[in-house]
Chains A and B, each alone.
Chain A
Amino acid sequence: MLFNSYAFIFAFLPFVLAGYAAIGRWSGHRSVSLWWLVLCSVVFYAIWNPVNLVIIGPSVAANFMLARLIERRLTVGGSEDRWASVLLVAGVILNMCFLGYFKYRNFFLDSVNHVFATDWPMIQILLPLGISFITFQKIAFLVDVRMGAIRNYTLLDFLIFVVFFPQLIAGPIVHYREMVPQFHAGSGRLEARDLCVGLSLFALGLFKKAVLADGIAPYASTVFAAAERGDPIGLVSAWLAAAAFTLQVYFDFSGYSDMAIGLGRMFGVRLPVNFDSPLKASSIVDFWNRWHMTLTRFLTAYVYAPISLALTRRRMASGKPMISRKRASVPAFAVLVAVPTVVTMFASGLWHGAGITYVLFGLLHGFYLVVNQAWRQWHPRWPRDTYDRAMKPLGLVLTLLCVFFAMGLFKASTLRGGLTMQGAMLGFDGVALPQALLTRLGGLGQWLQSAGVTGDFTSGSELLLRCLWVAALLLAATVLPNSLETMARFEPALGMKAVAPARWQATLAPGWAAGFALLMLGGLLSLNRISEFLYWQF
């Protein structure tokens, strides 16, 4: 069940809210309210396909038992701590095998077949929804238990942490420590203020997903489909399609995150921020600090940091120079920054999907990040103000172009399609504009043609519409405050503090209520549209 579906909005959500409110009013036991949420979350997950539950269920149970065993070893203490570590490693391997089998088995065998000309058979495997989100959270849970950060948890605590439906299939990726205390601290009743904030955020997210993301989607998919067929794509079409797809993913994913945060808030739970206007980033490092922030946080903590730490220790042990405040040596930079960065982004690429295009997408971003970090190390030392004035706008444009270019791979379903798209973005297919447009441009059109622009028989009005959509959404993404900034006064997400009132910040005024109602209406009226679910393989 998608958040942006009639069934969810008009049946599931009201039913869950009503049940929660009724239990809160008449039961008085917090645990009953939480069991209600667990039950509803399981139903929410199983409605997609009950088989998902059969696959995920045993894995959840195994992780709970492992966590219990780890905790017991830690309670005993002494040499038993070592066994706790062994159990943790076993748990991580178990989870990675689980994820690997369902998500990466065919990709792995296909790659082996290609490289070694073997013929290992592919099999149809059901990919349980949200498998990466769920697996990552379970691993983080086991690590936290081993570190002693989580104690005295119950089965209910574990279940509500893993299956809470607002963040179950598309994140944000949460930590036990930031979630479960909130469940315990809640009153168990629906609070009017939480409903106001949650509903408003949900309206914003629904509008972003159903109106903006689904609205711009066709302008990207037609061109990417042509690239998959091997059709030549002109430079202009390729960049516009890549920009359109980037905006689609941004509004789609951030909209879905807004809906998740809004839903969590309806039950009095604050979820972490997942997007912070990433298209306003002035560098790639800045971009990844703003894009899918909970994934970046997870990868930094569980992939980047351990690798970096291990490499640092090794260099220290061998007496080699480290990166200090002065400029780093190239070998130190290569080992301590470039290697962990590229490995982390490789993992990030694989996380997004089991395919060579995702791997290349991750590696390309790894390359971007290394170049960005190298620039930070060795860029000319200008006065700060001068540097910011000159580099910020340039950085903004460069970052956007780099992100668009990488999206050429992300969207493609085959390597050939992705490379065709990126080749077109580099101008390998030439520059083409609709013949009708060139004709209408008169003298300018003739000049363009003499400069090498060719006319094709694509639709001029569609190109115009595509330009308008891209321009409007790009403007919205780079100029307007984001959803959480708009709601900042109400501390909408975890880690956000209430700020002083400012322009563009929502209040509980009739005008804002009507404005959010308009957004909600736009979203509701768009539920009939074809909606891509981009995260099914995350």
Chain B
Amino acid sequence: MDERRYLRWMLGSVLLLLAAVTAFNLLVDPYLVTGRPRVPGFNAIKPAVATHEHLMKAYQAYQAGQTNARTVVLGSSRSGTGIDPDSPHWPDAMRPVYNLSVAGTRLPDQLHYLELLLAAETSRGQTLPGTLVVGLDFESFLYRPGLVDARPPPSKQQAELHARLDMLHVLASPGPAPLPVLVHKLAELGLATATLDALEDSVATVLANRSSGGPDVLANGRASDWQLRAWTLADGASALFEQKHRMTVRQNLTPRLVLSDQPGGPVRRLQELQPLFALARAHNIRLVLLVQASHVTHHELLDALGYWADLERWKQTLTQSVAAARATGIDVRLWDFAGYENVYQDPVTGRGQAAAKMRWFWDPVHYNTDLGDRMIAGIFANPPKVDGLGEELTPATVTQRLAQVQRLRAAYRLAHPQAQADAQVLVCGNGCDKLARATLQP
């Protein structure tokens, strides 16, 4: 073979293979970027959500205008796995429901996603959602002390995410898109189709669809609990609990995180609720805020880490903020599911136990859809009825709710005398010295 022919063969093969890879990725659409239909047994399950959830939820929100959702759920992975849009307990008038929760996000980013969804719905001439259910994580209101701006500068990934959401927002808005936006979209399409990562994820997608399944983001936005279920069955819930507890300790022990710049000062990140209130007022949307459910062992750990007083103060100031918003005419209600009721004392099962799956929880902070269903059923019952789960927080009820949680906690500790000590061991091992204890004081 002469040299020219060799070069033609080589360059031709590159182009041919590149075209084949791109076509395959376009067809499988592992990241939901092209909006190809989900075909069972081929690409219905999208396991790439385990590593690309931010990307996928952005494009799903962009395309979710097609779902015409009447209710939207916002929050982190906790509401992402726990709140089921297909729950039979949603009132008919609130359906269809779309779960826009995204793992690892805080309220400002969640609102960014929501604005994209609203823009997509508006551009398609659909009715905007009437209700927003927002899961609130206490931990996301804490920040490292000493930050002048309580919101640190965005990381590279966050900056990318914001740019992507802005780009899709422009595309979802009426009128021609500027050239840089189109170039950005084209680049994203290239990354989703003409990269080795996309090829690996496409192959993984097809394999997962041909075998026992995999992690997924469902068409209604909920994150599937496949991975949590698999881990639980393989290692037992106790392993997940211990792993999550250790992570909580690592994230919250040092430096000691704070709610305010000064002790007892205003809770800084509650300011982040204001854009949510403004949006609700602008679009006449009803807000349902949930203090996310956690397992009691998580609460014990927060106490051992010295955050219990912060948790109570946060609930009080949150209640005041919501009451103030309500006074301006916004339809907003706040529910507290962070307590010591029986459901939150769900026994932690170990590996090999007959019922490896727990009744209500996957790990200390991720509740399952059974508990999510109970919460929905209680909140949206007429009249609301959340006995045994929590209580609505208002200026009139917050003090008694905090006292109730303390009573339940005391009872729990009486019945489980080892609980506090276990949490202490997690925080500082068996050798908590005086210095370590001193740093834990609020």
Contact = CB atoms under 8 A, between A and B. Distances in A.
Contacts of A211: 196
B13 A518 contact: yes
A280 to B, nearest CB: 28
B24 to A, nearest CB: 12
Interface stretch (A49-57, A236-244, A323-331, A520-528): A520-528
A373 interface: no
A149 interface: no
Interface string B216-244: 00000000000000000011000100110
Interface string B23-66: 00000000000000000000000000000000000000000000
B136 to A, nearest CB: 27
B11 interface: yes
Contacts of A436: 234-235, 239
Contacts of B239: 435-436, 439, 457
B13 to A, nearest CB: 3
Interface size class of A (residues with CB under 8 A): 20 to 34
Nearest to A210: B196
B195 A517 contact: no
Nearest to B13: A517
B428 to A, nearest CB: 16
A203 B17 CA distance: 14
A86 interface: no
A529 B197 contact: yes
B191 A199 contact: no
B10 A199 contact: yes
B253 interface: no
Nearest to B3: A192
A394 interface: no
Contacts of A200: 10
B355 interface: no
A185 interface: no
A525 B203 CA distance: 15
B1 A509 contact: yes
A193 B191 CA distance: 34
A510 interface: yes
A457 B199 contact: no
A508 B1 contact: yes
With a 10 A CB-CB cut-off, give which of A196, A211, A439 has the most chain B CB atoms. Answer: A196
Given A192-B3, A193-B3, A195-B7, A525 B21 contact: yes
A528 B6 contact: no
Contact of B9 (A440, A510, A526, A529): A510
Given A526-B195, A526-B196, A517 B6 contact: no
Interface string A197-216: 00110010000000100000
A514 interface: yes
A507 to B, nearest CB: 8
A521 B1 contact: no
B407 interface: no
B101 to A, nearest CB: 24
26 contacts: A192-B7, A195-B3, A196-B6, A435-B239, A436-B239, A508-B1, A508-B3, A509-B1, A509-B6, A510-B1, A510-B6, A513-B10, A513-B13, A514-B13, A516-B10, A517-B9, A517-B12, A517-B13, A518-B13, A520-B14, A521-B14, A524-B18, A525-B196, A527-B195, A528-B197, A529-B196
Q: Which 4 A-B pairs have the closest CB atoms?
A: A517-B13, A192-B3, A513-B9, A525-B196
